[in-house]
Amino acid sequence: MKKPHVIVLGGNFAGLGSAQKIREYAKDAVDITVIDRKNYLLYVPNIPVEIFDNKDPQESLRMELPATLKHDDINFIQAEIQSIDVDKKQIDIIPSERPGSETQKISYDYIVIAVGCRLAYDRIPGFAEFGDTVSDFYHGNKLRKKLHDGTYKGGPVVIGSAVFHQGDGAEGLEPYPGGSIPSALAACEGPTVEVSLAMASWLQKYKMGSAKNISITTPASVVAEDAGEKVVAELLEAAGGMGFNYVNNCGDIVELTKDGIKFENGQYLEAELKIILPDWVAHDFLRELPITDNQGFVITDLLMRNPKYPEVFAAGDCAAATMPKLGAIGHQQCEIVGLQIALDMKVITEEKANKPLKPVVFCIGDMGEGKAFYIRSDSWFGGDTQVLKMGKIPYLLKMQYKTLFMSTKGKTPPWGNEVAEFLAEKL
Ligand SMILES: Cc1cc2nc3c(=O)[nH]c(=O)nc-3n(C[C@H](O)[C@H](O)[C@H](O)COP(=O)(O)OP(=O)(O)OC[C@H]3O[C@@H](n4cnc5c(N)ncnc54)[C@H](O)[C@@H]3O)c2cc1C
């Protein structure tokens, strides 16, 4: 008997995690294929740590996908996804190992869309010449060299986000009683806070300045609002005490120039270094499909299933329900997707499977000097938890989580988060 074929689009955090969870819960009831244009996982969250330590992130933050997936009898295809036909249950791909390949069609019974977002640096005028960022190996190494080879002279630094254009696909979802998936003007501001704190510590270490050199900017009324009001107030108090310049409500980034950065509200900030997180945009091939919202994000319910096409699931940054765009929320969704497909295969019960998404912002950010901040919060969605801790234990957890992730090939044990919570919050 031919088994149902599950195709997972994307092989980074949400794609790998979904494929592994489907195998864990649905066992051998399905065939699984993961498709990604690159054949490795890019471990994004630790890029800033490596850069400030002057280490090449490519050496420690990539994990080979084919061998990892083979452990669970999951097929891997390295290809560019071109389009999805949700009525024919078919996708078009072009094998991406060599240019010039032909288009291939692949049919599916289930599809899990986990292709993340397009980080739209190309929409920021002047970014190519004057901008820096920390979201991938290329840009990370470019910034690392600037910092450590003497190019950067210790002038003013601006760290902030462009405006995020969120779609309407999560409207009406109620993850906690009376709560919602809120709208936000920035997709993910954990990196802004992390890079600002780490940069301040780096400036002090190399006797080139301090937090006073740095402006933290946000298009929103507060930075990192997803962390919850109490946590943000504590963070801002700490940042103010260190001497950061904090600029909110600045609107979109209009242009980067050699000496500064212009904002939509007319403000201009001088800056030698401009470290930017851009708009997180849906991929073109997802736009104007019957499964996506007005910005191209995949519409799901809180069981990560599309309401009109129940064989379509989404997880991670490309899902409309993922706000902020945070790997930790994608991780929660992978579990749900695995359980739902196992339910459809009739290998688990409804009671075990139907556990709707209750997003929790779980974020550990480097602060330099062997310290980190730890945030666990669900208040933005209607929950009542808001925890902020800072110190050496969160830093150890951040580094240990990466080691555990790499050594278990992405299968961090379920007790990992509980241990992290205990160590960060009780010790
Ligand atoms: C600097 C930085 C620090 C961060 N720190 C944290 C943190 O501490 N904690 C946290 O939880 N989150 C953090 N995040 C957010 C986190 O990185 C993302 O939420 C996470 O990577 C999303 O995972 P994903 O699998 O949904 O998407 P992605 O990681 O973007 O993966 C998408 C995959 O799909 C593939 N793909 C896309 N389009 C196609 C196509 N057309 N054809 C073939 N393949 C395709 C890509 O190659 C990629 O492998 C951070 C982000 C940044 C930028």
The protein residue with its alpha carbon nearest to ligand 1, atom 4, reads: 45
Q: List strands edge to edge, sheet with 253-256.
A: 253-256, 260-263, 268-270
Q: State whether residue 390 is helix, strand or coil.
A: strand
The protein residue with its alpha carbon nearest to ligand 1, atom 29, reads: 12
- Domain segments of the chain: what residues? 5-45+63-118+281-353
Q: Look at domain 5-45+63-118+281-353 and name its CATH class.
A: alpha beta
Nearest to 374 by CA among 383, 358, 361: 361
Mutate to test the pocket of ligand 1, among 12, 21, 192 (most ligand atoms within 8 A of CB): 12
The protein residue with its alpha carbon nearest to ligand 1, atom 22, reads: 327
Beta carbon of 175 within 6 Å of any ligand 1 atom: no
Amino acid at 368: G
Largest CA distance in the chain: 68
CA pair distance 137, 307, nearest whole angstrom = 37
326 with 18: CB under 8 angstroms? Answer: no
316 CA from centroid of ligand 1 (Å): 8
pLDDT at 340: 98
CA pair distance 119, 162, nearest whole angstrom = 11
Beta carbon of 23 within 6 Å of any ligand 1 atom: no
163-182 as b/e: b if 16+ CB within 10 A: bbbbbebbeebebeeebbbe
Mutate to test the pocket of ligand 1, among 9, 13, 141 (most ligand atoms within 8 A of CB): 13
The protein residue with its alpha carbon nearest to ligand 1, atom 5, reads: 45
Beta carbon of 193 within 6 Å of any ligand 1 atom: no
pLDDT at 106: 98
117 CA from centroid of ligand 1 (Å): 7
Beta carbon of 334 within 6 Å of any ligand 1 atom: no
Q: State whether residue 15 is helix, strand or coil.
A: helix
Ligand 1 atom closest to residue 16's alpha carbon, by position in its atom list: 25
pLDDT at 420: 83
Ligand 1 atom closest to residue 134's alpha carbon, by position in its atom list: 1
Beta carbon of 13 within 6 Å of any ligand 1 atom: yes
Which tokens belong to 291?
């499964």
Q: What are phi and psi of 284, to 5 degrees?
A: -55, -40
Mutate to test the pocket of ligand 1, among 16, 18, 36 (most ligand atoms within 8 A of CB): 36
Q: What is the DSSP letter of 315?
A: -
Which tokens belong to 214?
């740095």
> With 0-12 CB in 10 A as exposed, 13-18 as middle and 19+ as buried, what is 238?
middle
The protein residue with its alpha carbon nearest to ligand 1, atom 44, reads: 36
Per-residue pLDDT of the chain (427 residues; tens, 9 = 90+): 799 999 999 999 999 999 999 999 999 999 999 999 999 999 999 999 999 999 999 999 999 999 999 999 999 999 999 999 999 999 999 999 999 999 999 999 999 999 999 999 999 999 999 999 999 999 999 999 999 999 999 999 999 999 999 999 999 999 999 999 999 999 999 999 999 999 999 999 999 999 999 999 999 999 999 999 999 999 999 988 999 999 999 999 999 999 999 999 999 999 999 999 999 999 999 999 999 999 999 999 999 999 999 999 999 999 999 999 999 999 999 999 999 999 999 999 999 999 999 999 999 999 999 999 999 999 999 999 999 999 999 999 999 999 999 999 999 887 777 888 888 888 7
Beta carbon of 376 within 6 Å of any ligand 1 atom: no
318 CA from centroid of ligand 1 (Å): 9
Which tokens belong to 117?
């977002």
Mutate to test the pocket of ligand 1, among 20, 77, 287, 326 (most ligand atoms within 8 A of CB): 326
Ligand 1 atom closest to residue 195's alpha carbon, by position in its atom list: 1
